Amino acid sequence: MRYLGINATFHDPAAAVVVNGEVVAAAEEERFSRRKHGKRPVPFSAWELPEQSMRWVLAEAGITAEDLDGVAYSFDPEIAVDIPDDPYDHVRLDYVRRAPGFIAEALPGLDPSKVTYVQHHVAHAASSGLAGPYRTGAVLVSDGRGEGHSHLAGEYVDGELSILARQELPDSLGLVYESLTDHLGFLRSSDEFKVMALASYGTPRFLDELRDYVHATGDGGFTARAPEWEQFAPRRIDDGTWGGAHADLAASVQCVVEETLVELARWLREQTGQRVLTMAGGTALNCVANSRIWREAGFDDVWVQPASGDSGTALGAALTLAQRAGDLAAPEPTAALGRSWDDDELAQWLTTAQVPFTTPGSREALAAEVAGILEQNGVIAWFDGRSEFGPRALGFRSLLANPMHAENLERLNDVKGREQFRPVAPMVLEDRAAEIFSGGPIPSPYMLFTHDVAPEWRDRIPTVTHVDGSARIQTVNDRDNPGIAALLRAFNERTGVPVVVNTSLNTAGRPMVDDPRDALELFGSAPVAALVLGPHLIRRAGFFA
């Protein structure tokens, strides 16, 4: 059977297709439209569908709209509650109710009656509980808001979801964090990760006061309302400066959110007796909190959906329909669900653009050349395989650098045009990770947990060691990314360090590079030494000769 999943109500519009129980493709609209997050999460944008990603996932699956057995839309307007502080929310709901007609117009031949509304947090839950490696386990969802809730706690048993607790709005951990993001001069529903990074530079001196506003209630729920932030720190103007009371406030909110999530996870563990926890929702992108849950909540394993934000609800909604039809295949978790081009197609892009390139001839030969550039402290734009579904660059659309030079952090942030308090992450060979990193799960393939860097390694890999001695690692093996694994081995042979810097292949305010044209445009405008395009290598000296 064939199911299309769609996320369109708030932000990060996306589409996914599931055929005979298997996830075939998933993509975010921003990768096609080149508009960060696809759209802003305002009521008037709810009519905008991920039309390009919808059409692409169907084409990738080799099916048409007429072939679909169902379309899952990841928001149910019939259970939505009024939002008193948003006088235009009724506009959003009106557009959502009209979505079947909008989708049929975008996909000619589709019968609008095939569109089914899937509850927002149920779709989030399915994106982890059905797309992840465990079909039996506890599931925890937390974000800004769904129809009338901001949180779901439950369990899957053989793929069947039981909901044990929900938190009604307006209490919301995600909305508290969004409110702080705005107060700190960043873009809400977009820049929350900046607050998490800034928190590492502060001390949580406002924690006791904030616990009055944010805390678990012992019954699977919580209280979470944004205070008047000015009582702690004045509103920040994003003028390039940071630190002081603003960093302390970020640290305090980060800490109280972590505490609350750990308590929610512990409650869920006690209620279910499950040994495994899966997580989704925008709050699950908070890798510092995820690591505390992994260490303190009592589960044997914690698996987080790489596309935990709203884009992942497209995937979860499609899987929910497949589950209801008894049509789930064995899970094969991966974030590499987007577009790709074969070697000849990539060569044709370069030939058409009249770009000089070489093709080293083998994965190992390419890795050796790139490792040599990295050893000489050149920055690499790496484009290989299917693009990532979700916000993390995982070695398919990445900027790579040498981790052994402290100045490379400032250098990379300058290349990307972003704040200097922002960290970059290490890629590490999976079989070497435990020598260097601790305090989080290993393997950790999706860059969703923080780990402590061993003291003897902090001076060896200063670029990726955050100010608090942590790093948000990605472990790599030959099965999931043989090209990056070969590069890590080649770099290790040259330097004795099985780690390279990984950050997303984009510049500030732009979506990650997705197609070859995007890669060439970035390479032409950013100071990187070389571009890897599949098996092909373009050196800057040759490009501008």
For 389-439, how does the pLDDT look when each residue is reduced to its tens digit (9 = 90+)?
999 999 999 999 999 999 999 999 998 888 888 999 999 999 999 999 999
Q: What is the pLDDT of residue 242?
A: 82
Whether 233 contacts 249, CB under 8 Å: yes
Of the pLDDT bands very low, low, confident and very high (cuts 50, 70, 90), residue 545 is low
Residue 173 has pLDDT above 70, yes or no: yes
Q: Is pLDDT at 269 greater than 90 in this prediction?
A: yes
The DSSP bridge partners found for residue 7 are 14
Asked if pLDDT for residue 240 goes beyond 80, the answer is no
66 pLDDT higher than 80: yes
pLDDT of residue 87: 87
pLDDT of amino acid 210: 98
Read off the pLDDT of each residue in 225-229 and give the average, rounded to a whole number: 98
Buried b (16+ CB within 10 A) or exposed e, 298-316: ebeebbbbbbbbbbbbbbb
pLDDT in tens, 295-338: 999 999 999 999 999 999 999 999 999 999 999 999 999 999 99
**In contact, 210 and 177? CB cutoff 8 Å:** no
Token pair in block for residue 190: 């977009």
Percent of the chain whose predicted confidence (pLDDT) is above 90: 94
SS3 at position 312? helix
Alpha carbons 380 and 372: distance in angstroms, whole number: 11
The whole-number average pLDDT for the span 427-452 is 98
Q: Which of 5, 159, 135 is nearest to 69 (CA)?
A: 5
- 140 vs 258: CA distance, rounded Å: 14
From 33, 25, 26, 29, select the one nearest 12 (Cα to Cα).
29
Over residues 205-233, mean pLDDT: 98
Crossing angle of helices 363-375 and 482-495, rounded to 10°: 50
pLDDT of residue 523: 94
Q: Average per-residue pLDDT in the chain?
A: 96
pTM: 0.97
Q: Does pLDDT of 544 surpass 80?
A: no
Residue 542 has pLDDT above 90, yes or no: no
CA-based R_g, the chain, Å: 22
